[in-house]
Chain A
Amino acid sequence: MNAPARLDAQVNGDCAPVLRERGQREVFCGLTGIIWLHRRMQDAFFLVVGSRTCAHLLQSAAGVMIFAEPRFATAIMEERDLAGLADANQELDRIVAQLIARRPDIRTLFLVGSCPSEVIKLDLAKAAQRLGEAYAGSVRVLNYSGSGIETTFTQGEDACLAALVPVMPALPADAPTNLVVVGTLPDIVEDQFRRIFADLGITHVGSLPERVVADLPGIGPNTLYLLAQPFLGDTGQALDRRGARRIEALFPFGVEGTSDWFHAAAAAFGIPTSHVDAVLAPYRARGELALLRHRDRLAGRTIFFMPDSQLEVPLARFLSRELGMVLTEVGTPYLHAGHLARELAALPPGVQLSEGQDVDRQLDRVRALRPDLTVCGLGLANPLESEGLSTKWAIELVFSPIHGFDQAGDLAELFARPMRRRDVLRV
């Protein structure tokens, strides 16, 4: 809505200035993260304290309903809850009691803040403390915000993981060095990574989050952490505050990114490069072979990223360097210059980055450029397709196993498929 301000905040010498826009943002709020987080943490339940809109978002964004009773729900606020905070707190206690009675298997309860709960200043941190004391010994109660006024899509996971950091057990100063892999990964990818870490000789490896919240890894001055996702700014800060140190690396997308990620981890553990090369060689070969199939179709084709998941920068790096795609605009809701430093340096010179969004102006640019592929949200995909532009739904990138060597080919396939489809269709 406002004129795009061209700031000369160079992120690094090679990139064009970052286009910062403020206007209508066509992105999900952080509540959406619950859809994958609740499957990951099997002893946790997510209770959104919000409105009918929040409940409707969760069921619509999930696309298909997860009909085995999901481990999330919404406490929908009604007229009388707005009258006074005392009553709202009482109501919340009642709802939580009802929930825990129905799901006695729950060990961790997340109270998730929404726009309405934040606007009326319902203090969920206090509520979590109160309820945590009430259910001490049986249910741990944590809170975070997934609201659309505070968080964008994947930032919901960031807020959730940041809320878990304080409850990670403390490790003493003389504990052996341990590694924490941060960010939700599909089980299959996590297992692959654990095998590779073991082959490398890194044995103390934990995950944030773990499949069961009760198994959270310990943290102390000898803890190193490795981000598996690029959207974990607050979680990183929380880990830093507890004395852990981040291992700087590319994100594990594609063969190059995954190799760099493991190399960086191994280097931090003092493992010789030659050993790492030897361990990774067969994985790299497999990954490269899988990519080969897709390179023909993707090389030289243009791609435009609408801001969505914050995965945009690392994925753009992968597509341009390993598959030869031509980046037009790489939009991201939020550019975390620190965590993305290596990624940004690896982008080809002159790439147009954009942060924030004014969706109508951005669509004007898409229509002017007519890229071969546009990565965008679910609300925009069919309208662009009907204008003859191929699209890739961004949300699939968050819901599919795309990290690591053995998924590099699948990741490329996600981008190749819409184009292949356009090529085969004769209707």
Chain B
Amino acid sequence: MQLAVWTYEGPPHVGAMRVATAMEGVHYLLHAPQGDTYADLLFTMIERRGKRPPVTYTTFQARDLGKDTSELFQTAAMDVVARFKPDAMIVGASCTAELIQDDPAGLVERMALPLPVIPLELPSYQRKEHWGAAETFYQIVRTLADKSRRPSEQASRRPLVNLLGPTALGFRHRDDVAEITGLLGRLGIDVNVTAPLGATVADIERLGEADFNILLYPETGDLAAQYLERTFRQPVVRTVPIGVGATNEFVREVAALAGIDPAPLLAQEESRLSWWSRSIDSTYLTGKRVFIFGDGTHAVAAARIAHEELGFKVVGLGCYNREYAREVREAAKRYDVEPLITDDHLAVESAIEAAQPELVLGTQMERHIAKRFAIPCAVISAPVHVQDFPARYSPQMGFEGANVIFDSWVHPLVMGLEEHLLTMFRDDFEFHDGAGASHLGPGHAAPAEQPVAAAVEAEASGWTDEAALELKKIPFFVRGKARRNTELFAAERGIATIELATLYEAKAHYAR
């Protein structure tokens, strides 16, 4: 058993729902008790979809157990076919139904329904949401992709690709697909099929007609991409185009596979991030301490942008999905930080507290943690809440995605010169770090009692009053570090009482 308050990922059948809901004409029959219908609200409330997810739950009750749960399942299957007339149906069990072992796969097979039925085996007690989505998409592709389809004669057409991985409830998937489709179009490449998002059964059937695949979201699309690679010999572009550098590499890689010269497009298109970041106002971003946590793919991408494109210092990097631990570990090595692979949000909270970042990039969980610590935060990865499904166009991928990222990461921070003034005149009763940045509302001010600083100020024992007062003049986000360094410095030298001079001696020592 694992003790959990909040979870980063739902059960695997929620992943299957994300695939079914993303697609057109696919219905999901889920053997599950009534309470599991809560999952509908993820799509109707959080993502604000105007349609119910195409999911029918059998909602068996205790009194059905041991007698007619399998009959219930078969009746429900017939009802789904009659009422929704789907082009294909996926069937499976939630955690409870897995235990009663009704074997949905066998049950529907015996019914010989007049449509493709894809049984899913999603082990609820071992796996989680992302894996469930990936496995579901893979099973759909394996069953429905027409093995006889192959790309048509190249000479008469533009290169053709599939975009793999976007689902319902994904972080900015809607806009990423639009952005990348546009980018490819300007490069001279057409999209054959985007899947699962928006794909029909007929679309899945013709996946084989593309020249190659672009894997936008490895977490949900890689199993299918590997299958297509094996079956249709379609190469896969695995570079995820988040950030300027990654987008440039992506364009080159795609162009090479398509036999196109990327230079004209790259000369013409550029993200504003590059100039915004080089412009003089951004100097103050240099070395900002940033803590990054999310799904593996988004976290690794964010770390690269933070390090290479904004000049931040990565002080923490981690992911909640173990499947991508290897990628995160490799990246962590590059930035010389300890990788944090955990789905325990309390462990993430302690890591953030210890790292004392000036900016947190994370999921909705980290947003709450950062709020408690009064640290600025931007969201970079699922799971996200309703406010992270914006009405406006806001991709993460491609050149426009980089613009969006620049804005949304820099906005929560205190602006350049303002930061200096805050540091210079810390005793101004209206204008201090507790008041927050002038372009943000009062909700963004550091609260009077914030754990990081409170812990720091709790008891500066061994400090003279004068030194303790001086310590308070250091901005709160580096105060803890200054204190620790000074105390370490004093301890190493056997200094019992920290005086004003000790503070500045330690500062000089650690500055070297």
Q: Which residues on A are within 8 Å of B, measured CB to CB? A: 1-2, 23-32, 49, 51-57, 59-61, 63-65, 67, 69-70, 72-79, 81-82, 88, 91-92, 94-95, 98-99, 115-116, 118-120, 147-150, 152, 360, 377-383, 385-386
Q: Are B60 and A24 in contact (CB under 8 A)?
A: no
Contacts of B60 in A (CB 8 A): 149
Contacts of A69 in B (CB 8 A): 5
Contacts of B59 in A (CB 8 A): 23-25, 148
A54, A65, A378: the one contacting B45 at CB < 8 Å is A378
**Top 4 closest pairs, chain A to chain B, by CB:** A29-B35, A379-B40, A148-B35, A386-B50
CA distance A169 to B412 in the complex (A): 54
List 5 extra interface pairs beyond A81-B1, A149-B33, CB under 8 A: A52-B128, A95-B3, A118-B62, A149-B61, A380-B40
User: B286 within 8 Å of A by Cβ?
Assistant: no
Q: State the interface size on chain B (CB cutoff 8 A).
A: 57
Q: Are A60 and B38 in contact (CB under 8 A)?
A: yes
Of chain B, the residue at the smallest CB distance from A382 is B44
User: B417 within 8 Å of A by Cβ?
Assistant: no
Q: Are A51 and B95 in contact (CB under 8 A)?
A: yes
User: B368 within 8 Å of A by Cβ?
Assistant: yes
Q: Are A78 and B125 also in contact (CB < 8 A) when A52-B95, A378-B41, A386-B50 are?
A: yes
Q: Are B38 and A382 in contact (CB under 8 A)?
A: no
Looking at B7-15, B268-276, B440-448, B477-485, the stretch in contact with chain A turns out to be: B7-15
B38, B100, B124, B364: the one contacting A57 at CB < 8 Å is B38
8 A Cβ contacts from B21-50 to A: 33-42, 44-45, 48-50
Contacts of A63 in B (CB 8 A): 45
A-B contact pairs, 15 of them (CB 8 A): A24-B58, A24-B76, A52-B7, A60-B39, A67-B372, A74-B4, A78-B2, A81-B125, A82-B125, A91-B1, A95-B3, A119-B96, A148-B36, A378-B41, A379-B37
Q: Are A26 and B10 also in contact (CB < 8 A) when A119-B65, A119-B96, A386-B51 are?
A: no
Q: Are B3 and A98 in contact (CB under 8 A)?
A: yes
A1, A30, A98: the one contacting B76 at CB < 8 Å is A1
Q: Are A115 and B57 in contact (CB under 8 A)?
A: no
B35, B45, B57: the one contacting A24 at CB < 8 Å is B57
A184: shortest Cβ distance to chain B, in Å?
20
A10: shortest Cβ distance to chain B, in Å?
24
CA distance A379 to B48 in the complex (A): 10
Q: Are A26 and B40 in contact (CB under 8 A)?
A: yes
Contacts of B9 in A (CB 8 A): 52
Contacts of B65 in A (CB 8 A): 119, 149
CA distance A52 to B7 in the complex (A): 8
Q: Are B52 and A116 in contact (CB under 8 A)?
A: no
Q: Are A115 and B4 also in contact (CB < 8 A) when A149-B62, A149-B65 are?
A: no
Contacts of A57 in B (CB 8 A): 35-36, 38
Contacts of A52 in B (CB 8 A): 4, 7, 9-11, 95, 124, 128
Of chain A, the residue at the smallest CB distance from B14 is A56
Q: Are A1 and B95 in contact (CB under 8 A)?
A: no
User: B83 within 8 Å of A by Cβ?
Assistant: yes
User: B94 within 8 Å of A by Cβ?
Assistant: yes
Contacts of A148 in B (CB 8 A): 33-36, 59, 96
A166: shortest Cβ distance to chain B, in Å?
22
